[in-house]
Amino acid sequence: MEPVIATVLVVGMIGGVGAWVILDARKRKAATVALAGPLAERSWSLATRGDQVVAGLSSVPFGSGAHRRCEDVIRSSDKSVVSFTYRWTTGSGEHKNNQARRVTMLVGSLKLPKLEVEADTVVSKTRKAAAGGDHDVELAEFTKAWSVRATDERVGHAVLHPAMVERFMKPDLMGRSVFFEKGRIGLVDHVVQLDDIVRHTDAAIATLREVDALIPDSLRAEFA
C-alpha cells in the first residue's frame, strides 16, 4: 500500500473513532439532562462512577474477573436504594470478554447469611457443581429455572418457602438473579440504556420490595 494512502486511511480511522466518542458523549449528556427531573422527583442522585457500592460483596457477579467497576450509579437520599451498571472483564488476549449487568439493591434489609438465587444457565450450573450441588427446593419447575446457593441451609429453606418460590416463578423474575447479602437484597439484570435507568430502577425496586415482604417474621426476629 502506498504510504500516502495508508496515512489517509489511518487518519480517517482515527477521525471516525473521535467522531463516535463525541457523539456518544453528546448522547450521554442529553440523556443525563433528561433524567434530572425524574431523579429529583424521587430524591435520587446519579453519579458516573461509584465502585464503593459493592465493597465487601461476593455474590455473583461481584468478586470475579478484572477491571471491575460500577457506572451510572443511582442512589436515593436515604441510601436505601442503589442501582448501577456493573462491568468487568474475563479472560485475556483474544479470549478477553467484556461483561456487564444492571444491578439494583435495597440496602438496610435483614443481614441474612448469603443466599443467591441465580437464573439457571450453563455458567450457573458450573458454579453449582463447583459448590458441591444445589440448595434443595421441592419444586421441579423452580429447580429447572434457578440455581440456589446458601451459606446457611436452614435460612435458605426458611427464605424459600412456598409463597417465595411462587413469587420467583412469576414472569417478571424469570431469567433474573436475586441475592441476599450483608443487609442488601439485590436484583441482577441485563444492562439497560442510560435514558431508561430510572424506569428500570422503579420496576426493580418494586420487585425487590415484594421479595423483602415475603421474608418470614421468624427470620426478621432472628436477624433484626
Q: What is the pLDDT along the chain (224 residues), one digit of tens a residue?
A: 555 554 444 444 444 444 545 657 888 889 999 999 999 999 999 999 999 999 999 999 998 899 999 999 999 999 999 999 999 999 988 889 999 999 999 999 899 999 999 998 644 444 444 444 455 566 788 988 999 999 999 999 999 999 999 999 999 999 999 999 999 999 999 999 999 999 999 999 999 999 999 999 999 999 98
List, in order, residues 6 or more apart from 26 with CB less than 8 Å away.
none
Sign of CA dihedral 96, 56, 53, 221: positive
Quick check: 8 and 34 in contact, CB under 8 A? no
> What is the pTM assigned to this prediction?
0.83
Residue type, 76: S
Residue type, 74: I
SS3 at position 84: strand
